[in-house]
C-alpha cells in the first residue's frame, strides 16, 4: 500500500511540474529570427512585445503599406491611370506594365499588394504627385501624422536607399492605420486577380497573393490572419508586417531584418499567439456612452458623450485591476450654441491614476444660446419691454437729430 501511495505521489509531482512548466513556457516571449519586432494592439496602440522595436532599419516592400494608404486617400478605385514608364526601367519586382498602358487605381493597388509590383508603386506615385520624389513627401507627412517619428521614405516601393528607413514600431503603426480602411483589407486579402488593360483588352496580367498566412492551402495558413505584406532586398533581408483578429481582439506585428523567410511565417504566428494568449482587451468607454455631466451655467447641466471607443490592454487575469476616470478640460460654454453630437470638450483619460490618452467629448443634447436682446427672446415679457424701450429711445434720438439737421439747413 505504501509503495502504491509513493508511486502515486511521484506521478502527481511529475504531472504538476509538467503542467507548471508548460504554462510558464506559454507566457515566455517568443524567440524570433528578426532583428526588429513590434507587437501592438490595433485598438490601443500599446506595445505588447518588442525586440529592438525602435531600431532604424530598412523596410523593403512593406513600404507599400504606406503607398496604399496614400493612394486610397487621394484616389477613387475606378480612376484610370496612364503608365509613364516601362517596367523594364524599374529595379526589383514588377507585374509587367509598359509606358502608355491604361489601368485603374484598383488594378495598381492589387498589383502593389498581391505581387509587390514596383511598377505599380511608381505608377501610383506619378498619378498622384507627378513624381516618386513628390509622392515620398506625402508619405513622410502621413508617417508623422500617425506618430511614426523615426521613418523616412525616399520612394514608394521600398527599393534600397540609405535614407529610406523605418522602425518595427513605426511599421506596425502603418498597418494599424491601413486596416481601418475596408478597401485596403479587401484588396490585400484578394487571393488572385487578373488585370485587363483599358487600352488593350487583349492583354491581361495575372496576380497571385504572396501573403501565405491567409491562404488556406498553404502550410503557413493562420486562421486568425487578417492581412499582411512581406518584403525583401539584399540589404534589408526579409521584412514582414501582419494583422490578426481573435474573438474581436485585433493585433498587428512587424518584423525587420529577418534572415529566414520560411521561419518568418512561423515566427509571426508565434508572436501573434503570444499576444492573444497573454493579454486581454478591457473596454473602458464605448462610443456613445455618457461619461459625465458638465455644468454650462448655474441653471444648466448637460450630459457629455464619448466620441470613440477607449480600450486598454492588461495581462490576462488582471482585468479587474483596471480603474479609469475622465478629467474634463474646463471651458466656458455659457454663450455657445451646439447640436447634439457636436464635439464641444476635451477629456483626458486616466487609467489606475496615470494619464493614458485624450478624446473629444460630444454634447448629449442640443443647446441654442440667445443674446438677451435678440428678437427670439421677445417671448419673455421682461426682455420684450426692455427691447421696446431701447428701440424707442434710439428712434427718438434719430428723429431729434434729423429735426436739428433740417433746422440748420433752413437757416
State the Cα angle at 169 between 119 and 48, rounded to 5°.
135
Phi, psi of 69 (to 5 degrees): -60, -50
Could you confirm whether 188 is annotated as catalytic? no
Sequence-separated (6 or more) residues with CB below 8 Å from residue 19: none
Of the listed 51, 64, 142, 154, which one is catalytic? 64
First to last CA, the chain: 139
Active site annotation includes 136: no
Residue 263 CA: distances (Å) to CA of 32, 35, 256, 276, 336 = 8, 13, 13, 20, 60
Beta bridge partners of 55: none
CA distance 139 to 131: 13
48: CB partners within 8 A, 6+ apart: 39, 40, 41, 251, 274, 275, 278, 279, 313
Residue 116 catalytic? yes
User: Residue 308 annotated as binding?
Assistant: no
Distances (CA, A) of 366 to 290, 298, 337: 15, 17, 8
Catalytic residue among 116, 254, 292, 307: 116
Residue of 43, 51, 61, 157 marked active site: 61
CA 11, distance to chain mean position in Å, is 51
Provide the annotated active-site residues.
61, 64, 116
Binding positions are 229
Annotated binding site for substrate: 229
Amino acid at each position: 500500500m505504501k509503495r502504491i501511495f509513493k508511486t502515486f505521489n511521484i506521478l502527481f509531482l511529475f504531472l504538476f511540474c509538467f503542467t507548471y512548466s508548460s504554462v510558464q513556457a506559454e507566457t515566455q516571449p517568443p524567440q524570433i529570427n528578426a532583428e526588429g519586432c513590434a507587437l501592438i494592439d490595433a485598438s490601443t496602440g500599446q506595445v505588447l512585445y518588442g525586440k529592438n522595436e525602435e531600431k532604424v532599419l530598412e523596410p523593403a516592400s512593406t513600404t507599400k503599406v504606406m503607398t496604399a494608404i496614400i493612394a486610397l486617400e487621394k484616389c477613387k478605385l475606378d480612376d484610370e491611370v496612364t503608365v509613364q514608364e516601362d517596367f523594364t526601367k524599374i529595379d526589383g519586382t514588377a507585374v509587367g506594365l509598359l509606358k502608355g498602358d491604361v489601368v485603374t487605381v484598383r488594378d495598381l493597388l492589387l498589383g502593389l499588394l498581391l505581387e509587390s509590383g514596383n511598377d505599380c508603386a511608381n505608377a501610383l506615385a506619378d498619378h498622384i504627385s507627378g513624381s516618386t520624389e513628390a509622392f515620398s513627401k506625402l508619405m513622410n507627412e502621413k508617417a508623422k501624422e500617425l506618430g511614426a517619428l523615426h521613418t523616412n521614405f525616399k520612394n514608394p516601393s521600398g527599393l534600397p536607399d540609405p535614407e529610406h528607413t523605418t522602425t518595427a514600431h513605426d511599421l506596425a503603426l502603418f498597418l494599424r492605420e491601413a486596416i481601418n480602411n475596408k478597401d485596403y483589407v479587401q484588396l490585400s486579402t484578394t487571393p488572385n486577380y487578373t488585370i485587363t488593360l483599358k487600352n488593350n483588352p487583349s492583354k491581361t496580367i495575372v496576380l497571385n497573393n504572396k501573403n501565405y498566412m491567409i491562404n488556406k492551402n498553404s502550410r503557413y495558413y493562420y486562421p486568425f490572419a487578417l492581412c499582411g505584406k512581406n518584403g525583401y532586398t539584399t540589404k534589408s533581408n526579409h521584412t514582414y508586417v501582419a494583422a490578426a483578429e481573435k474573438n474581436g481582439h485585433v493585433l498587428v506585428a512587424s518584423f525587420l531584418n529577418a534572415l529566414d523567410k520560411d521561419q518568418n511565417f512561423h515566427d509571426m504566428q508565434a508572436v501573434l499567439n503570444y499576444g492573444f494568449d497573454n493579454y486581454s482587451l478591457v473596454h473602458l468607454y464605448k462610443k456613445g456612452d455618457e461619461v459625465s455631466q458638465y455644468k454650462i451655467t448655474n441653471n444648466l447641466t448637460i450630459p457629455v458623450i464619448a466620441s470613440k471607443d477607449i480600450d486598454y490592454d492588461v495581462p490576462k487575469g488582471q482585468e479587474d485591476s483596471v480603474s479609469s476616470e475622465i478629467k474634463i478640460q474646463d471651458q466656458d460654454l455659457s454663450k455657445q450654441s451646439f447640436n447634439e453630437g457636436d464635439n464641444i470638450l476635451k477629456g483626458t483619460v486616466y487609467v489606475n491614476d496615470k494619464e493614458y490618452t485624450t478624446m473629444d467629448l460630444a454634447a448629449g443634447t442640443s443647446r441654442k444660446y440667445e443674446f438677451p436682446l435678440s428678437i427670439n427672446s421677445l417671448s419673455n415679457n421682461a426682455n420684450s419691454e426692455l427691447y421696446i424701450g431701447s428701440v424707442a429711445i434710439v428712434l427718438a434720438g434719430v428723429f431729434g437729430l434729423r429735426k436739428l439737421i433740417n433746422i440748420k439747413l433752413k437757416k
